[in-house]
Structure 1
Amino acid sequence: MPKSTAESGEYATLVRENYRRLSKALPNFTPRREQNYLVAEMSKVLSGRYDAGRRILVAEAGTGIGKSLAYLQAGIPWARMQQKTLVISTATLALQEQLIEKDLPLFHPHCKPSFSFALAKGRARYCCARRLYDLQAGVAQTELFTPDAPLLMAAPLTEAQLKQVSELWQAYAKGDWLGDRDSWPTPIAPSLWQHIEAQRHSCQPMLGHQQCPFHQARAALEKADVIVVNHALLLADLSMGGGFVLPEPEQCVYVLDEAHHLASVAREQGSARLALRHLIRSLEQFNKWQGKLNDLLGSDGQAAIGKLQHGLAQLIPSLNDLYRQLVSALQKGELKPDEQGCLRFSTGDLPCALDEPLLRLKEDSQIFCRTLGPINSQLAEQLKINPSKAATIEAALAMISLQLLQAEQVYDGASLLLKPTLEKHTPPARWLELDSKDAKELVLCVTPLAVGHLLEAWCWSRAAAVVMVSATLTALNDFSYFRRSVGLRLDDGSHYVRLNSPFNYQNSALIIPPLECEPSHGDFNDLLVTHIAQWLDEQAASLVLFSSYRQMNEVAKALRAKGQSLLVQGEASRHALLVLHKQKCDAKQPSVLFGTGSFAEGLDLPGIYLTNLIITKLPFAVPTSPVEEAMAEWINQTGGNAFMQLALPEASRKLIQACGRLLRSESDTGRIVLLDKRLVSKRYGAALLQALPPFTLDIAQQ
C-alpha cells in the first residue's frame, strides 16, 4: 500500500476514534450533522483529496454548527502526523479565550496523538523585567540614556502606582506572576503599564533577556503543538517573512477563524503613517545623543559614527523639505483638507510635485538604515567587553533599534506613496491628515487597497494547509466578494463549503412594519423614536442596533424623556452594560440595550437575554474614510459599479451578522424588527432578504 494511502487511512481512523471518545465522555452529547460534514470536508482538504498542491478550504459555517470543535477534530491529528504546528488565528479576544479556556481543554483528554497548546500574544502584553526592576528600585530613567525618557518623566507615578509596581515586582520575582498583563488579578492602568511594557526597540535577544516574560513566552511557543493567535500578530509575522514569532508558514497548518476580517487586518498591516514633525524631532534628539555614542564606542567607532552623522545630515533636511512643501501648499490653498482635517489624494499623480521630495526621502531613509547596522554590531561587542556598562549599552541599543524601526517605516511609507498606478493594478489609498492634538503636525498616510497578492505571497502559496472559517463569508449568497478580498481565484484549487445553521429560524419572525420614510429623510429620527417605543412595549430583553453614535444618542435622549430605561453603548464599558442587562433579565425586569455596529458582531446573548432585536437601518457604510473613498473611486474608474461590487455585498454581510445576534442556541426564539423600508422599496432589497437565514417574513405593505 502506498505510504500516502496508509497515512490517509491512519488519519481517518484517528479522527473517528477521537470523535467516539469525545462523544462518550460528554454528558447529553448530541451529534450535529453539519459539524460532522465540516470535519469530513476539512479532512479531505488536509489529506489532499481535492488538490494535493493547494490544500485550502473556505468554509462558511452558520451559528450553532460548532465550527471550533470541528476544526480541532480535523486539524490537530493531521498536523501532529505531519509534524506541523496548528496555528489558530482569530479576530477577537473573546474567541481566543473560548479556545484556550474551553474548547482546547475539552478536546485535549480525548485526542490522539496528544498535543500541547499555548496562546501567542503581542509583546506589549508583557512587562519588561528590567524596566520593572529599575522602576521599583527607583532608578531614574534619564540616567539610562533611553529614547523614551521624556514620555516616562512627563507623568510621574503616584504613590498608589509605586505601591503596585512593588507588588508586581515581588510577585514576578517569587514566580507568582508570569509578567503578562492579562494574568494580573486586577486591571493595570495604561498610565502605569506604559512604564513597564516590553517594547520592540528595548527587547532584543542580544541583550540576553532569556528570563524576560516575553522571551519566556516565545520559548514556550516553540514547544507547543497548537498555537492560538490573533490576526494582527499572525499577519505581522507573515509580513516579515514568517518564523519570527510563529513557525515558518511551511511548518504550519493555519485555521483562520472569523476570516471575514482578514483583508482589513492585512490592509492595516501594510499601512504607513508618517508624522513628519514627530520624526524630525526624534532624529534631532538622536543627533544630540551622539556624543554619548562616541563615549561608548571610543576610537573604534569613529568611522561608523561618521557615516551615521552623514546619514542624519541627509535625512533630517529631506524630512524638513517635505514638511515645508506641504505647509506651503496648505497656506496657498493648493491643498484643502475637509472639516475633519483630512485630504485624500485621488488616484494618479501626487499633488504639488510631492514626488521629488518623497523620492529623496526614500533614498535618504534607506542610506540612514544602512548606517545603523554597524553601530548596532559594535554596541553588541561592547556589551561583551564591558558588562559593567550593561545598563547604558542596553539603552543605547534600544535607541538604535527605535531609530531603525522609524527609518524603515519612513522608507516603506515613501515607497508606497510613490507606487505608480499601473493598468489593472489597484493603487493604494493616500491622504494627508492634520493632527487634532498638534496644530503644526502633518501626517502622510498610505494604505494598500488590494492585499490579495500579499496574502498569496505571505501565506497561501507557502503554508502546509489553510482552513478559513466564519459564520459570514458569503455576500448575497456568493463567495466572490470574500474571494477577491483575500486573493483567491475560482480556479486555483481552493475548495469552498457552505453549511447553514441548524437553528429553526422559521420559529422566529423578521418584521418590516409600515414605515413613513427612508433613512435619508429629515424626519427619520422622529420615526425611529415612535417605532422603537412601539416595538419595545412589553418586551423583556431587547437590543437596538444603530448605524451611528450620533443617531443612537439622539434617539436615546428622546426615549428617556418619555420615561424609557436604557443601557446605552459608551455610557459604560461593554462588559458592564452586558452584566447589568443580564442582571435585569434574571430579575425579570425589562432591559433594553442600545448599540452601534460593534454590538452587531460577537455579542452573545442566548435564551432569555435577547428575544427582541431591532435594526434601525441597513448597514451601508458611508464612504467617508479615505480608504473607502479610494476603493469606490478605483472601482468606478475601471468601469465597475462601486455600489454593486463594494457597498451592497458588505451591507449584506453586516446585515447577516446583525441578525445573527438573535438566535444563539437551538432552543432560542424571538423576533427581528427592521426599520428600513428600502428592503421593500429598492430593487436590491429582495437580494438582501434572500441572503438572510430563513426567518418567517412579516412584511407590511409600504
Structure 2
Amino acid sequence: MPSCNYQTLVRENYRRLSQALPGFTPRREQNYLVAEIGKVLLGRYDSSRRILVAEAGTGIGKSLAYLQAGIPWARINQKKLVISTATLALQEQLVDKDLPLFLPHCQPGFRFALAKGRARYCCARRLSDLAGGVSQTELFGPGATTAAPLTTHQQTQLADMWQSYSDKSWQGDRDSWPTPIDAILWQQVQAERHSCQPMLGHQHCPFHLARAELEQADVIVVNHALLLADLSMGGGIVLPEPEQCLYILDEAHHIAAVARDQGSARLPLRQLRRSLEQFNKWQSKLNDLLGADGQAAIGKLQHSSSQLIPALNQVYRQLFSALQRQDLRTDDQGCLRFSPGDLPCGLDETLSTLKEDSQTFCRALGPVNSQLAEQLKLKPSQAAAIEAALAMISQQQLQGEQLRDGCALLLRAPGPKHTPPARWLELDPKDKQEILLCVTPLAVGHLLEQWCWSRAAAVIMVSATLTALNDFGYFRRAVGLRADDGSHYLRLNSPFDYASARLVIPELTCEPTSQDFDELLATQIPFWLQDQAASLVLFSSYRQMKQAAVALRAQGHSLLVQGEASRQALLQLHKVKCDGKQPSVLFGTGSFAEGLDLPGHYLTNLIITKLPFAVPTSPVEEAMAEWITLCGGNPFMQLALPEASRKLIQACGRLLRTETDSGRIVLLDKRLISRRYGPALLQALPPFTQELGKAIPQTGS
C-alpha cells in the first residue's frame, strides 16, 4: 500500500484518539516520535535497514507513540508487531491499559496477546494425573523419589487447579492463578519442552492453546528474555520468524545484558554427573516401553551416556585435585576467574572430549524421544509411563545441550576481532564438594546482529536512557550497531520542568572511598530527611543500606527498608503513610533506582548516597576490564564512567514522574565536584537547578 495511505491512517487514528479522550493534551515530543518512527518504517532514512534508536525522556508517552506508528504499518505490510519489555510492570501497562485504550480508535483493527514461556503453563495431563493420585515416581521417574510427599494443602490446591481448568474458569497459566503456587509443586505440573508437543496429542494443553492464540494475534507483548531465547534458537519457535516482525524494544537499555545472560552457561559438575548416573540406571525401563523396535536407539543412547559420565568425571577430578593441592586458589567468595588463553590444569583437552561426548549424547536422545512419541499414540493406556520417560529425556536433552554449549564457549579462543568470554569457577557455598564452571560472553553485538538486526522487517528501540555522557556510542557498541550502518538515532527531551527541581551536592569531608564514609552517612542522611514528607534513599550496596538503617533507627527514625518486606508491600505502606500526612522514608538499592514510579506527593526528596560505579569484582566485570586494557584502552573511561552516567540518570529520574512534580535531589558524593570526570556526569543529567558545594553541618549535632 502506498506510503500516503499509511500516513493518512496514522493521522486519522490520532484524530479519533484525541477526540475520544477527555482532557487530551497534545504532546509535541510524542507527535515527533510518531513521525520519526513512521519515517524509519517507510524507509525514508534507509530502505534496506529500518532501525531506529530513540531516547525519549520520561513523560513523552513512548508506548502510545509507538503503538500509533507501528500498528498501522505492521497491519498494512502483513507483519506481526512484537513489543518486548524488560519489566512485568510495563507488560501489564501495555496489555491492561495502553492497547485496550488505542484499540477502539485504530484502523485497521488488531488483536493482541501476551506471550509467556512454556514453563509458565501447566501440562494438563500432568495436572490431571497428579490431582487423580498418580505417584510422583510413576510420573517423573527416579528423581522424584527424593521429593517430599505432597502436603494436604498442595493436594487441595492441585484438586482446585484441575477443577478450575476442567470447567474453563482457569486457562492453566501460573500467573493468573489467584493464590501463590509453591515452586516445587509447580515444577511437577509445568509444561516441558519435549514432553508437551502437538505431535503427542497435546493440542489442547494450555501452552499450545496460548501459542495458537499468538498465531492469531497482530500485536504480541513479550519480555526480553523470552524474545532473545526464541531468537537465539533461530526464531519462529514460540514467536514469529524475525522476517515477519516489526520489533519494538522498550526499555532497550537492558537488551545487551539479557543477550549476555542468554548466552551464558553454568555447569554444576557433580550435579550433572549424578543426574547422568541416575539416568543411566533408569534406561533399562525404555526396553519395556519401546520393545524390540527400539533396541538400536536404546543401545546407542546407553553407549553415549556411558562415555559421557567418565568424561564429566575427569573434568571434575582435575579441578577438585588442583583446588586440594592449591594449584588453583579461589577468593573469599569461592570464585576463581580464568584469564584469556589456555585454561589451567590441562582443561582444554578434557573439555574438548566432554564437548564431543555431549554432542554424541544429544544426538542419541533424539531417536528415543521420537519413538516414545510414537508409542504414546499407539499405547494410550501407558500414557503416564511414557510421559514420565519423555520428561526424563527432556531433562537430559537440556542438560546435554547445556554441557555441549558451555564447553564450546569455555574453549572459544580469542582472536584479533573476537572478544573472549568471561570464564571462571565457583564453589557452591551450600555444598563445598560442588564445582561450577561458568562462562559468559562479553560481546553480544554480533549475536544480536545475526539473530535480529539483519533479519527483522524493522526494529524500533526506545528507552528513557540510551545515551551515556550525552552520546549513543556506549549503547551502540553494546548492541552491535555501527555509526554508518543505516540505523537512525533520535533524542527527545522530557517535557517536564526540570528547573523546578533542585540538585544539591553538599561539600562533604570525605569521598565514598574513605573508611569514614559510613559514619558520614549516619549523620548526613538524617540532616537531609529533616522536615521532608516523602523520601527515597538509594544505596549502591545492601551492606551500606543495612548499616545506615541500623544507625538511623538507633536515632529514632522510622524506615521502610528494601528486603524487609516485598517491594509491593513497602510501596503500598509508603503511599498509605504519605496519604495520611505521615513522613515516610524508603531505603533501596539499584533495583529501586529504575522503574519505581512515585508521582506527586509520594516522592519529593531523593537522596543518592554515592555515584553508581560498578565495583569491578565480579568475574564478568573483571574480564571486560582486563580485555579493554589488553587492547590498549581505558576500562574506567570506556566502561565504568558511561555505565555510571546512565545509572545516575536513571536514579535521578525517580523524582519527577509527571509534569507537575517538583522536589529535591541530594547527591552525597563530592566526586562530582572534586574529580575531573564530574562535569561530564553533571552535563549528562537533565537541567535541574544545581546547588554545588553547598556548605552544611558535618555532624548531627
Q: Please name the residue that 1:431 is paired with.
A: 424
Whole-angstrom CA distance in 1 between matches of 2:428 and 2:195: 27
Secondary structure, counterpart of 2:285 in structure 1? helix
Q: Deviations over 1:557-611 (max 9, x none)?
A: 1111111111000100000000000000000000000000100000000000000
Q: Which amino acid aligns with 2:670?
A: K
Q: Aligned partners of 2:71, 2:596: CA distance in 1, in Å?
A: 28
- The 2-side partners of 1:568 and 1:372 are apart by 49
Structure 1 residue runs without a partner (length 5+): 1-5
Partners of 1:470 and 1:112 in 2: CA distance: 26
Amino acid at match of 2:2: E
- Equivalent AA in structure 2 for residue 458 of structure 1: W
- Alpha-carbon distance in 1 for matches of 2:372, 2:192: 19
CA contact (8 A) 2:249 2:459 kept: yes
Counterpart for residue 3 of structure 1:
none
**For residue 142 of structure 1, what is the aligned residue in structure 2?**
137
Cα displacement (A) at 1:124:
1.9
SS of 1:200's equivalent in the other structure is: coil
**Aligned partner of 1:481: which letter?**
Y
Aligned to 2:661: 668
Question: Following TM superposition, by how much is the alpha carbon of 1:639 offset from its aligned partner in structure 2, in angstroms?
Answer: 0.2
Please say if residues 475 and 652 of structure 1, whose CA atoms lie closer than 8 Å, have aligned partners that are also in contact.
yes
Q: What residue identity is the alignment partner of 2:36?
A: E
Report the Cα distance in structure 2 between the residues aligned to 1:402 and 1:157, rounded to whole angstroms.
22
How far 1:147 sits from its partner (Å)?
5.4
CA-atom RMSD, angstroms?
A: 1.1
Q: Distance in 2 between matches of 1:148 and 1:485?
A: 41
Partner of 1:83: 78
Letter in 1 for 2:438: C
**Alpha-carbon offset, residue 136 of structure 1:** 1.3
Distance 1:54 1:378 in 2: 44
Match of 1:336, SS state, is coil
Residue type matched to 2:108 in 1?
P
Q: Which residue of 2 aligns with 1:282?
A: 275
Q: Which residue of 1 aligns with 2:362?
A: 369
How far apart are residue 630 of structure 1 and its match?
0.5
Alignment partner, residue 636 of structure 1:
629
Q: Provide the residue aligned with 2:234 in structure 1.
A: 241
Instruction: Kindly state the Cα deviation for residue 383 of structure 1 after the two structures are TM-superposed.
Output: 2.2
Between 203-212 and 471-480, report the one with greater CA deviation: 203-212
Please state if 1:608 is matched with 2:597. Answer: no
Instruction: Decide whether the 8 Å contact of 2:142 with 2:282 is kept in 1.
Output: no
Aligned partner of 2:684: which letter?
Answer: A
Shift of 1:540: 0.4
- For 1:644 and 1:268, the matched residues in 2 are separated by 24
The residue that corresponds to 2:293 in the other structure is 300
- 1:146 shift after superposition: 2.7
Q: How does 1:153-164 map to 2 (within 5 A)?
A: 153-164=146-157
Match among 548, 562, 580 for residue 555 of structure 1: 548
The answer to whether the 8 Å contact 1:201/1:399 transfers is: no
Matched residue of 2:284: which SS? Answer: helix
Question: How far does residue 504 in structure 1 lie from its aligned partner after superposition?
Answer: 0.4
Pick from 56, 61, 69 the counterpart of residue 74 of structure 1.
69
Cα offset for 1:192? 3.0
C-alpha separation in 2, matches of 1:26 and 1:299: 70
Equivalent residue, structure 1, for 2:114: 119
CA distance in structure 1 between the partners assigned to 2:200 and 2:374 by the alignment? 11
**Residue 207 of structure 1 contacts residue 394 of structure 1 at CA under 8 Å; is this kept in 2?**
no
Q: Deviations over 1:435-483 (max 9, x none)?
A: 1122211111111000000000000000000000000000000000000
The superposition leaves residues 257-293 of structure 1 with CA deviations (integer Å, 9 ceiling, x where unpaired) of 0000000000000011111111111111111112111
2:92 paired residue number: 97
Q: Please tell me whether the aligned partners of residues 275 and 443 of structure 1 are also in contact (alpha carbons under 8 angstroms).
A: yes
1:251 aligns with 244
1:627 to 606, 616, 620: 620
Q: Contact 2:608–2:665 (CA<8 Å) still a contact in 1? A: yes
Task: Compute the displacement of 1:365 (Å).
Answer: 0.9
- 2:575 matched residue in structure 1: 582
Letter in 1 for 2:4: G
CA deviation string 1:318-370 (max 9, x = no partner): 00111111111111111111111111001111111100000100111111112
1:421 maps onto 2:414 in alignment? yes
Find the counterpart in structure 1 of residue 462 from structure 2: 469
Instruction: Check conservation: 2:138, 2:384, Cα contact below 8 A.
Output: no
Contact in 1 for aligned 2:197/2:203 (Cα 8 Å) = no
Residue 198 (str. 1) matches residue 208 (str. 2): no
Find the residue that maps to 1:440 and give its secondary structure.
strand
Q: How do 1:103-502 residues align onto structure 2 when only pairs under 5 Å count?
A: 103-144=98-139, 146=141, 148-150=143-145, 153-502=146-495
Letter in 1 for 2:62: K
Residues 147 and 641 of structure 1, relative CA distance in 2, 3 Å threshold: farther
1:389-434 per-position Cα deviation (integer Å, ceiling 9, x unaligned): 2221222122222212211111101111111111231000000011
Contact 1:619/1:651 (8 A) holds in 2: yes
Is the partner of 2:613 in helix, strand or coil? coil
Cα distance in 1 between the residues matched to 2:373 and 2:149: 32
Distance in 1, Cα, partners of 2:373 & 2:546? 56
CA shift at 1:188, angstroms?
Answer: 2.2
Mean CA deviation greater in 190-199 or 590-599: 190-199
Given residue 365 of structure 2, which amino acid in structure 1 is its aligned partner? L
Question: Equivalent residue of 1:498, what SS?
Answer: strand
CA-to-partner distance for each residue in 1:605-654, whole Å, 9 max, x for gaps? 00000000000000000011111110011001100000000000000000
**How many residues align structurally?**
695
The answer to whether structure 1 residue 514 and structure 2 residue 507 are counterparts is yes
SS in 2 for 1:274: strand
The CA deviation string for residues 645-672 of structure 1, in whole angstroms up to 9 with x for no partner, is 0000000000000000000000000000
Residue in 2 that maps onto 1:27: 22
Contact 1:606 1:665 in 2 (8 A): yes
CA distance in 2 between counterparts of 1:675 and 1:442 reads: 41
1:514–1:700: 8 Å Cα contact kept in structure 2? yes
Q: Provide the rounded CA distance (Å) in 1 between the counterparts of 2:630 and 2:198.
A: 49
Structure 2 contact 55–464 (Cα < 8 Å) conserved: yes
Instruction: State the TM-score, normalizing by the size of structure 1.
Output: 0.98
* Deviation of 1:154 (Å): 2.0
Tell me the CA shift for residue 148 of structure 1. Answer: 4.4
Q: How far apart, in 2, do the equivalents of 1:343 and 1:203 lie?
A: 39
- Aligned counterparts of 1:155 and 1:394: Cα–Cα separation in 2: 21
Q: Percent identity?
A: 77
**For the structure 1 residues 166 and 145, does the alpha-carbon distance in structure 2 shift closer, same or farther, using more than 3 Å as the test?**
closer
2:588 paired residue among 576, 589, 595: 595
User: 1:145 deviation in Å?
Assistant: 5.2
What is the rounded CA distance, in whole Å, between the counterparts of 1:522 and 1:441 in structure 2? 36
Contact 1:613 1:671 in 2 (8 A): yes
Cα distance between partner residues in 2 of 1:699 and 1:373 = 66
Match of 2:2 among 7, 11, 14: 7
Amino acid at match of 1:127: C
Q: Using the alignment, how far apart are the partners of 1:267 and 1:275 within structure 2?
A: 19
Structure 1 stretches of 4+ with a deviation exceeding 3 A read none
Distance (Å, rounded) in 1 between the aligned partners of 2:465 and 2:437:
34
Residue 680 of structure 1, aligned match among 656, 663, 673: 673
Which amino acid is 1:577 matched to? L
Equivalent position SS for 1:439: strand
Mapped to 2, the partners of 1:194 and 1:543 lie a distance apart of 38
2:699 alignment counterpart = none
Distance 2:142 2:226 in 1: 25
Whether the 8 Å contact between 2:290 and 2:375 is mirrored in structure 1 is yes
Equivalents in 1 of 2:476, 2:69: separation in Å? 23
Partners of 2:504 and 2:694 within 8 A in 1:
no
